[in-house]
Amino acid sequence: MSIALKGIALIGLSLVLLSSSCERDETITVGGKGGNTTLKVTPQHHGNNIDSCTVYIKYNAQDKPSAYDEEVKCLMENGKPVATFTSLNKGNYYIFGKGWDPGIEQNVEGGIPYTITEDGTKEITVPVTETGH
């Protein structure tokens, strides 16, 4: 084999090795179970915590869905109602609360999109309003 052919073969082999070693592991994390984040949700109506509330979560969503993946009733924690969702991945979620506001004696509900970008415990507030508003 001539020196020129050996050189071309060596360059070709080098390019193959370089391209395979530069592949990135672009793992896409989607909302759902299996992660290291805890989400603590407190529903509020006009700044008042709503203690008789159930909070629903939809994995991998940013708009209000027709069905949810999980629901948790609020429990009192450090003087405020909290619905706790554990083992969540980084990703997108839709959080929805539904309950009763004794101050106005009406049902309240509402939701927000939420994105988890880092592991840990996150505390958020979900605004709720009178049903139908």
Residue 2 lies in a domain: no
Residue 7 lies in a domain: no
Residue 48: both structure tokens together: 């008042």
Residue 17 lies in a domain: no
103 membership: H or E segment, kind and range? none
Count of domains forming the chain: 1
Residue 52 lies in a domain: yes
Check residue 22 and give its pLDDT: 47
Residue 76 lies in a domain: yes
Answer for the pair 93, 114: CB distance below 8 angstroms, yes or no. yes
Provide the domain limits for residue 79.
33-130
Residue 123 lies in a domain: yes
pLDDT, mean over the chain: 86
Residue 38 lies in a domain: yes
Q: What is the pTM of this model?
A: 0.77
Q: For residue range 74-89, list pLDDT tens digits in order.
A: 999 999 999 999 999 9
Q: For residue range 46-55, list pLDDT tens digits in order.
A: 999 999 999 9
**In CATH, what number is assigned to the domain containing residue 50?**
2.60.40.10
Residue 75 lies in a domain: yes
Mean of pLDDT values over 7-27: 49
Q: Is the pLDDT of residue 17 over 50?
A: no
Q: Is the pLDDT of residue 29 over 90?
A: no
